[in-house]
Structure 1
Amino acid sequence: MSLVASEVRWRKPSILPGFGLAFGLTLSVMCLIVLIPLAALVIKAASAGPADILAIATSPRTLAALRLSFGAAFIAAIVNAAFGLLIAWILVRYRFPGRRLIDAAVDLPFALPTAVAGIALSAIYAPNGWVGSIAEAHGFKIAYTPTGVLVALIFIGLPFVVRSVQPVLEESEVDIEEAAALLGASRLRTIFRVILPAVAPALLTGFVLAFARAIGEYGSVIFIAGNIPMISEIAPLLIVIRLEQFDYAGAAVVGMLMLLAAFLLIFLINLLQAWSRKRLGDV
């Protein structure tokens, strides 16, 4: 009896038929596009043997590349979360000349080829570039350093946060903010008690998307990073280097390490997002 009740709860009645067919197609597509390639990556990495896997995973060059990739991606996602929320707020709450132009420009990193973005960034932030020459005059170098990696990751991740938060701000009622002000709430209190709780789930979604995008970014980073081992070498570049050396198993090991670390971090962030939705309400 309990098994029947559990099945009834699992398969809720729907107006539209075809649950079995849709569910089967979903699983098939997920297996063909996602699960099977990832399983092949794990199998290829396992072919290297436990000793080689441990040696590659604990080598200083691999650890430095992973540290830079994940650390820069995390910092870039935090910066994008802050400025993406600000940009989305300005685009939704204010009307000014050139607003539609700025709104369209937000999506440019989506459409721009990553190699073109890397060349443009390196031209601007190189020691002889517009911004890089000014920074060089003050003793600060951007291009060909970890700072250059961070700049590239911020550039490619910003649209994810803006486009995640913008629809939520458009649907939120301005009357609630005005009511909070009429009740005596200060601007900071209104921001932290009214606005941020409403956009927090969407903001976390944008953060996760920007973080995940930045972890595997390659094209826009290699032109501005300098690719110096132990300093500005990212993990995707290390994979490409091993592939060029025909070390396919070693490349698969580094890829598997990135996959495991990214999965754990994104899983934890998704748990935090689910907790925030449950606590603050689904918006």
Structure 2
Amino acid sequence: MNLEKIHKGAPDKVNRWTSGSGYLDTDRLRGVGYGNLVLRRQSHLYLAHGVVTAAVLLGMFWVVSGNWERFIGVLGLGDGRQSAEIEYVAITHAVQLPPPPLIDKPLPPKAPEVPAQLVMPPKVETPPNVGKVKQVKKEEAPPQQTLATQEEIREVVQKQPGVGEAGSGGGAGGIGDGPVFVPVEKMPTFRRQVKPRYPEYARRAGIEGRVFVSVLISERGKPIKAQIMKREPGDRTVFDEAAIDAVMKSRYTPGIQNGRPVKVWLTLPIRFTLR
């Protein structure tokens, strides 16, 4: 009897809760007013009720958890002991300390006393005894020798047949017009060096080599003449003109012999590379 009353009162409750049409199209076609179709028709009401209920429960849980200790105290479920609050107090009182004691610095060590040295008087060297000087007669005296100067020696060497100009130690020895080795104290050096021009024919053909040029330097440091002394390889004559032109256009410091500038030969190696 109770179930029949519940089924009979269900349509009235559904009509009160619903906000739209009381039936769906399928209800009218099938003539069914309960079961799954009724649940589908009122699903939005059930969803709203569930959301509201969940929100209320969540709010209650949040309030209770945040005030749990108060609820326990009100209900008398606690053990009666209250948690002591710890307070930290910062002590700002400064204690003035006395000044530190003075530290005595150690005295520097005394320098050792050096005994006074006796100053000895300088020794006077007596000249050696060479005996008595006897006066010699003019007829018995040996003939006086006169040394030739550098210019006189150079003039004599140039006038000798078959001998060339005086040359530097770097030049190769020779006979005739070639350079002759004559030692000097200071060899000539470059004052302004001219870079040799690479021959265009050799550049195109990829030819490389080295040329040894002897140049005669005057007393003023100007080149007088030059000649090829050696080639590497020996048949590479393509660099002769460029090498001679470079050494003749350069300027040099003169050679020094006995503190005076002299004319001297200087041998220079000139390398031609395409690197």
Range class of TM-score, shorter chain = under 0.3
Q: Whose radius of gyration is greater, 1 or 2?
A: 2
TM-score by length of 1: 0.18
Question: Which structure is higher in strand share?
Answer: 2
TM-score by length of 2: 0.19
Question: Which structure is higher in helix share?
Answer: 1
